[in-house]
Each structure stands twice: as structure tokens, then as C-alpha cells.
Chains A and B, each alone.
Chain A
Amino acid sequence: MTTIDAAPVTVPGVSAVRAPLGRRRVIGGLTIVLGLFIVGVFGLGSAGNAHSVVTFNPTNTSASVPWSLGALTVLTRWWNVVLGLLTVAIGVETWVRRPAGALARFGAGGALFFFALLLWSVRQPGPAPIGNINLTSVLVNSSALIMVLIYGSLSGVLCERSGVVNIAIEGQFIGGAVAGAMVDSITNSFWLAAVAGLVIGALVGWLLALLAVRYLADQIIIGVVIVTLMGSISSYLNIQVLAPYPNLNVGNLPSNVPIPVLAKIPVLGPVFFNENMFFYAAIALVALTSFGLFRTRWGLRVRSVGEHPKAAESVGINVARVRYSTVMMGGAVAGLGGVAFIATQGQFQPGITSGYGYIALAAMIFGKWKPSGAVMASIIFGLSGYMVQNLQSSAVPINTEFVTMIPYVITIAVVAGLIGRVRPPAADGIPYKRD
């Protein structure tokens, strides 16, 4: 296969050290493996007469669908074989042609894998369909998780683009969640709760920036300790304040804000256009961050401080000030994500964030320190995270522990360069000391 040779990498963020063609071939190979897995396990592994039923009507009827979609009953085995072969075909095409959109094709293969897993998990022996999977509600429910991950990974992108490693995303989540739950319970307004989350998140970000930028402490250690600190403070407050005064933690949920007309599109409507305000805010923040970082003077400054603080300083940029403000901004975004937790789960409980801050960190790395990439990674991690919960509840004969590992193993594989190299901002995590 020496006929086509490497054009220099044009994807920003991908190091040119490793030959991109080899990388694309690896991706193609992985897609083929994925497809064979679908064929073997999900397809041929299910009984010949097993059926899967997929329904599409939203369970949340607040967005009244203009027309209802019928249930789709399929033969599990042959549908999954076809889905698997389709994935194999995509993989073979990637392997042979090594196209620029290799990762997108891998993503398509992943989506097929996800759908095949769904079909397989609800299969029923015999022709009488009993259980079914509601595709719409699966997507709606995982969108809550995805939204939170988007907040967290955007926070990470902001901080790390300015050169400060934000391992404390989890801590900002927790702070925002506590503050959001209390403020919402007192004022019955999620707008004020969002403000409180922003403030608390920014304060935690300020603490990180103070210790990292001013006192040159190690950012990884500081981040880990801040997470422990916020976790214990929230647990302390829960026992000492929230438990005796339950009216401080009533667990309201914000109502959904359907967007006219669009919300009535089947499947897509409930997922994208009938969400609470935190979902829309997350989408807006992605666009805002992406535009801000790559199209404005402010973004150029932030990135220059993260890549080469000395050069930035030499053209008159105040490195410390830029880092302070960006880290506080990132903290505020993560704090808002903490309120979004409350907005989807109701009451605050210790451990409500259950390590999603760290997964958001992984999503940011998986997304190559870019807002758009972070969103894609959040979708993958969110879907697989939701699948874990779903599989556990539907008693599928698969070791859910191994499904639990998927996001983490993917992240490890990504960081190790098995699926594409990632390159962090050059000065990320290194305190800047003026001479």
C-alpha cells in the first residue's frame, strides 16, 4: 500500500510525529474489530427467533407529538448482523482508502455499535414482544449526562488553553451543585441558582488560580486536593445543614422549554429542542467558547499564554491576569455544570457528581483541547455512561463492569496514542515565573 502517501497532517492538534496514514489504518482496523464484534456477539450471539422492539414516542408528553410513531419490531440476529457488516464495510473502506474523515467513520461505527447493543439488550425470545427500548427516551436521558460533561470539558478547555491544568473540575461541580440546590430551594428560581453556581465555581477557580499562578504550587496536586476539600465540605454541609433543614434541599426540577415547531420533530425534537435551559446554555457556551477562543483577540491572548507565556509577556500581555480570569471563567462554567446536575437529578446528595468531573477532564483530552472535540467526546462518554446504568437495570447477561470501563479504557487508549495523538497546549500545567 505505498501508492498513496501521506499528505502532511492538516488537522490542528494532531502531532505530525506519527505518520497519519498508519493512524488512519489503525482506526480502520479498530472499526473492523467493532463490526466483527457486533456480528459475532450481538448478531449471531442472539437466538434465531429473538425479537427487539424499538419505540420512538417520547415518554415526556409535555412536547405533544403531532404524529405518533409506531413500534419497530425487528429480528435481533439479522438486524445486528447487517449492522455489524455495515460497520465492517466502513472499517474496510477506512483501512483501504485511509480518508481524512477516518475518525468520523469510526464515530459512525461507534453509533452503529451503540444501536446494536441497544437491540441486543432488549431482545426477547419468541415472537411475543414484551420489553422494548424507547430510543427517544434513551437519547433524552443520556442528553442530561452529556450536558454535564459538556460543561465540565468546556471548563477544562478554557483553563488548560491558558496553561493551568484544571483537575478540580469535579470540585467545581460539587460546589455548584451544593450552591445551586440551596439557592434554588430558597428562591425557587433556577436563574438565581445558576448565578450562585457561577459564583461558587468561579471562587473555586480563583482558589486554584491563586495557588497555581501566584504561589506556583503544583496544579495537579492542588487540583486533587481541591476536589477532596470540596467533596468533604459538601458532605459536611449535607449532614450539618441540609439534613436538619430539608427546605434547603427540596429538589425542584426546572421545567423544559420546548422550542416551537422544532420540538415536534420525532426523535430529534425531544432530544434537542425540548430541554431545560441548562441544555440550551451548554450549546450556546460551546459556540461561544469556540468562537471566543479561535476568532477573537481575547482567545488569541489566552492561547498564546497557554502556549508560550514568555512570548506573550514580551508583547505586553499580563500572563497572570489572563490566567486568573480564564481559570475563574472556566471554574464558573463548571460551577454552572454543577447546577445542571441539580437541574437533572433534583436533590443534592454527597457523591452526586460521582467522578464525572474526571470524565469531563478525559473528554477534554479526548477532544484534543478543542470545544468541538470536547462535545464529541462528551457525547461518546455520556452515551456509554447512560448505557451502563441502563444495562444494569435491564439485567443483561453481560458483565456490566466491563461496560463501565469503556469510557476510561477509550481515554487511556487515546492518551496512549492508539487512536490518534493529542497535543496539549505547550505551557499547560507549568507555572510561569516572571524573571
Chain B
Amino acid sequence: MSERPTTDVTAPVGNTVTTSRAQRFWARYSSTSPIVLTVLALLLGLAIGAVIIMVTSPAVLNAWRSSFHHPGSLPSAVKISFDNVGAAYRAMITGSVIDPTLLFHSLSSGQGWDQTMTPISETLTYATPLVIISIGVGISFQTGIFNIGANGQAILGGIGGVAAGSLIHAPSVIHLPLTLVAGMIGGAIGGLVPGALKALTGAHEVIVTLMFNYVCNALLIYSVTSTALQLPNQSNGISRTIDSTATLNPIFGVNSGLRVSYGIFVAAAVVVFATWFLKRSSLGFDFRVTGANPNAARASGINPKFIVIAVFLVSGGLAGLAGEVQMASTTYNIDGGFLIGSAGIGFTAITIALLGRLQPIGIVWGALLFAALGVGGRTMQAATGLPLDLATIIQSIVVLFVASPVLIKEIFRLRSSAETFQMATKGWSS
């Protein structure tokens, strides 16, 4: 703690004279910085998740029922409630970050590091495509374009990757970049359709991309049963496996059991590229200007139609790359259920992009958080029997709060600061 007097710019001047250091600390951190808002949103999400666990766990409900008959057992009911919630969240953390007992074992004996590091490896594996696709979505949002179709674009990217990875045979140096590019091209084609339609006819991108997701799902089913891509001698819809020269291999080797792959370097490259692109490149500048004020952008000579198409190419290309990385680092092939989960990676990407406030670095943190919730949810399911969907519930609640910062401010009685994040809003007609 430095003794330097803090000048709190956000606090009213009259207050700073009489406040203690603790109060000044509170004043600073109760102002609505993005990080504070996100952390509070996460806490709210976890709290609501805890309530859901309590009201749906038979053990908890039974404990409370008996406490109505025997008031003396009330403390034990409270304890059982918190034990259930605690067990669930503990499993979530040990399954996604690190298990202290395993860590202690590894530290003391120098062995079993593979097992100790598995949770982190899994989280990174899940986060890798999420980072890439969310950055793509974030770039489109920054330009004021709502790309809801990242899921379909990622699927097309996966199809492109499988096609290039299994039908073309080449040494790894050529083959791996080729499949990555093929994934990008697949996604970019998926982005070109809504982009071109918006630029040429003014069709609203939200409804076009929503519908195009279903078209892509159908294309996926078609492609995994087509003669070109289907695994030979298979009646099920499953694609060929890509050549080993096109896979993103585990960094620590297959024998370690750690799945984290060279895909994280692809994701890192995307983060660096996106940061440079948005901050330094002239096209990125045009994107941001268009997003901030479309009229000013048009007046200054930026061609809005070109921007729309370019945004969809970049955003779709990144989504396609994400689908390709997902395929090339985990399953090495695709089937009819590729990326079509309960929520879908494209919709998760929207929430992560919001959580990261559309900035590449923020998105990395958001993707890590969501991947940890997802991976930890799996461990929680195994340990406590609570459904994995709890993770998705928490994710959705967090994003609902992040998307409406005014609500968090009201709940925690925060003062507003100049830096308030709110998505640009528009209707169907724009």
C-alpha cells in the first residue's frame, strides 16, 4: 500500500475529504469498471446456480422437510444445503483448474503431473476454438453487424477442413496450413451469403444468419453422407478421418493423455492478429468507425457495402477456422452432430464476445471462464450427479447480467462511471 494520496476522480469532491481509506477503496471499486461488473455478474450467476441446486436436490429438500417437523434440525438442513452446493462448485473447480490433492501428490512425489495437469489441459482444449470463434463474432459486433450465424460458419469450416485434410495428401508443412485455410474459406463462404445479401438487398443479417445456421446443419448432414466425404463402407453419417499430416497434435505427445494441442498457438495467433487488426490496420479502423457511427463512416468515404461483406468474410473466416481447429485437434473427423450441441458453439461465442466486451484479450478471459465452467460441469456431473446443464445455466445468467449493466448497478447500488459497456442496439429495419 503506497502512502500516495489517491485522487478519486469518480467520487464527488465533497466526500473525499472526510472518507477513510477503506471508504476510498470501496468508492473506487464500487464504480462500474468492466471487470467489477463481470465479476459481480459471475457471482450472481453462481448464487442463482446455488439456489437451483438447492431446490432441485432431493437430499436438500428432504432435510428442509424434516426441519419443519423437528425445528432442532434446522442447522443441519442449512448445512446440507451448503454442503451440496459446495460439493458441486468444488468439483467444478477441481475439474477445470487443478485438484489440490493431486497437485500435492505431484509436488511431493514428482510424479503424476499428467493427471494433475489434465483439468487445465481440458479447459485450454475447450477454450481454443471458443477464443477463435468469439473473436470473429466480437469483430462483427464491433462493426455493428450481428453475426448470429457463427455456428453454421464453424460447421462449414469443419467441412472444409475435413475435405482438405482427407482428400488432399501432402507433407505436414503444406498440409496443415492448407487445412487451416480450407476451414477459413469454408467459414468465409458461410459469411459471404448473409454479407452479400445484406450489402446487395439490405436483408437483415440476424434473420439471414439464423436461417443459414439451419441450412448449414442440413449441409453438414448431407456432406457426411456424401460419397466424397463419408467414411468408406459406413452407413452412418460420419466423415473420413483427416490425414495425420493435417492434425493439430497434442503438445505433450499422445502418451501424456493431455489433449491440449498446437491449436492454442493458432488461437494465440488469432488474438495477436485481431488486436493488430482492430487497433492498427486501416480496414479495422473502418470497421470500428462503421460500428461507432455508420453515418459518419459513410460521410468520410467508407463504403458501407464493402464493409458489410468484409466483416462477414473476416468473422465467418474466423468461425470456420474455429470449427477446423475443433475438428483437427480433438476428433479428427466430423459426424452429423458436429458442433450442434444443446446451445451450439456459435451461440456460446455470442455470449463470450459480450463477456469479453468484444476485445480480444477480454474474449480470451471470457472463453477460459466458459471453458472452465463447461469442463468443470462435466466433473461436477460425475462427482455429484447434477446435470451438466447447470454450467450452461450459469453461463446464460452471467451474460444476461453483463448485457444489462444497468441492472447490476441497481442490484449492488453502484455509481455509474463514464465507461459503461452497452451493445449498440438496432432493429430489424437497419
Contacts and interface: CB of A to CB of B under 8 A. Distances in A.
Give the interface centre of A351, A416, A428 by most chain B CB atoms within 10 Å.
A416
A220 B214 contact: no
Contacts of B393: 229, 232-233, 236
A211 B407 contact: yes
Interface string A216-250: 11111110111111011101111111001000000
A361 interface: yes
A401 B148 contact: no
A45 interface: no
Contacts of B427: 163, 165, 424, 426-430
A411 interface: yes
Nearest to A235: B389
A67 interface: no
A431 interface: yes
Contact of A236 (B56, B202, B404, B425): B56
Contact of B342 (A217, A350, A365): A350
A2 interface: no
A9 interface: no
Contacts of B302: none
Interface of A is mostly: helix
Interface residues of A, number: 58
A423 interface: yes
A361 B208 CA distance: 12
Interface string B211-234: 110110111011000000000000
B42 to A, nearest CB: 15
Contacts of A401: 218-219, 221-222
B343 A228 contact: yes
Interface string A361-401: 11001000000000000000000000000000000000101
B278 interface: no
Contact of B426 (A402, A417, A423, A429): A429
Contacts of A239: 387, 389
B215 A405 contact: yes
B350 interface: yes
B203 interface: yes
A306 B17 CA distance: 49
Nearest to B403: A217
Given A232-B396, A365-B207, A216 B214 contact: no
Given A236-B56, A236-B387, A165 B428 contact: yes
Contacts of B392: 228-229, 231-232, 235
A241 B406 CA distance: 34
Contact of B203 (A225, A235, A415): A415
A362 B209 CA distance: 12
7 contacts: A221-B423, A225-B396, A227-B347, A229-B393, A232-B389, A236-B390, A412-B207
